[in-house]
């Protein structure tokens, strides 16, 4: 059976950097939301436990909670601005270092360039590196990531942690990138939209 879409590229420092960048930007977007939310709840519990906020009259309690929530909304907004500007630059800088290290480790192990092929069928996709072939049903894909140069599929593994396959948009063979994005979005039942990072 012929695949609906085919991807083929040589793994280079740049393609590894794109993978590392998508991964770091995806992880950081979660961290910038979860960590402050946990801190917000912890501080609220400490304040409620150690102060007499609950002993105030209803108007005083409402005023306290509105101010508290307002402050945290401003903090979340500030963190989102930071994540989309300076945080993105930090993730890209870290991705350069990650890719450099990974590339030289892989080259030392392999001695030859790695050609990555991905075949996308109706109900699964196949990743083939020449030494290892892995088949994934689309049900395992939990997020699709995109930046200017690449696309990434974040998926659940059998072992618990999530993995990512990313590839340059230019590696999509004989097809339009937008057609491929529509296909992959429709094929992955757990993904509603492509996340721009």
Q: Name the packing angle between helices 13-50 and 58-82 (round to 10°).
A: 170
Domain edge (last residue) among 56, 84, 110: 110
Q: What average pLDDT score do residues 34-53 get?
A: 79
Cα angle value 136/129/5 (rounded, 5°): 55
Contact status, residue 153 vs residue 103, Cβ threshold 8 Å: no
State residue 53's pLDDT score.
Answer: 67
Residue range of the domain that includes 64: 14-110
172 shares a domain with 157:
yes
- Same domain for 51 and 91, yes or no, is yes
How does the average pLDDT of the chain come out, rounded?
A: 84
- The neighbour count for residue 154, using CB atoms within 10 Å, is 21
Read off the pTM: 0.70
Q: Mind listing the pLDDT tens digit for each residue in 95-105?
A: 778 778 887 78
Same domain, residue pair 92 and 117:
no
Q: Mind listing the pLDDT tens digit for each residue in 132-164?
A: 888 999 999 999 999 888 999 998 877 766 788
Query: CA-to-CA distance for 81 and 194, rounded, in angstroms?
Result: 20
Q: Say whether 84 sits in a helix, a strand or coil.
A: helix
92 Cβ contact list (under 8 Å, min separation 6): 21, 24
Where do we find the tokens 């083929």?
8
């Amino acid at each position: 059976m012929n695949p609906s879409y085919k991807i083929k590229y040589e793994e280079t420092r740049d393609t590894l950097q794109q993978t590392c960048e998508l991964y770091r930007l995806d992880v950081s977007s979660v961290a910038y939301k979860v960590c402050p939310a946990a801190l917000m709840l912890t501080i609220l519990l400490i304040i409620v436990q150690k102060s007499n906020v609950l002993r105030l009259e209803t108007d005083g309690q409402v005023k306290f909670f509105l101010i508290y929530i307002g402050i945290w909304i401003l903090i979340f907004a500030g963190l989102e601005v930071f994540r989309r500007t300076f945080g993105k630059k930090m993730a890209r800088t870290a991705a350069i270092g990650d890719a450099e290290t990974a590339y030289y480790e892989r080259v030392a192990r392999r001695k030859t360039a790695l050609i990555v092929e991905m075949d996308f069928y109706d109900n699964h996709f196949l990743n083939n590196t020449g030494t290892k072939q892995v088949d994934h049903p689309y049900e395992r894909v939990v997020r699709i990531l995109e930046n200017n140069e690449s696309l990434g599929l974040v998926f659940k593994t059998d072992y618990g942690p999530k993995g990512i396959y990313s590839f340059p948009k230019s590696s999509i063979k004989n097809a339009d990138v937008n057609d491929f994005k529509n296909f992959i979005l429709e094929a992955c039942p757990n993904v509603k939209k492509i996340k721009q990072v």
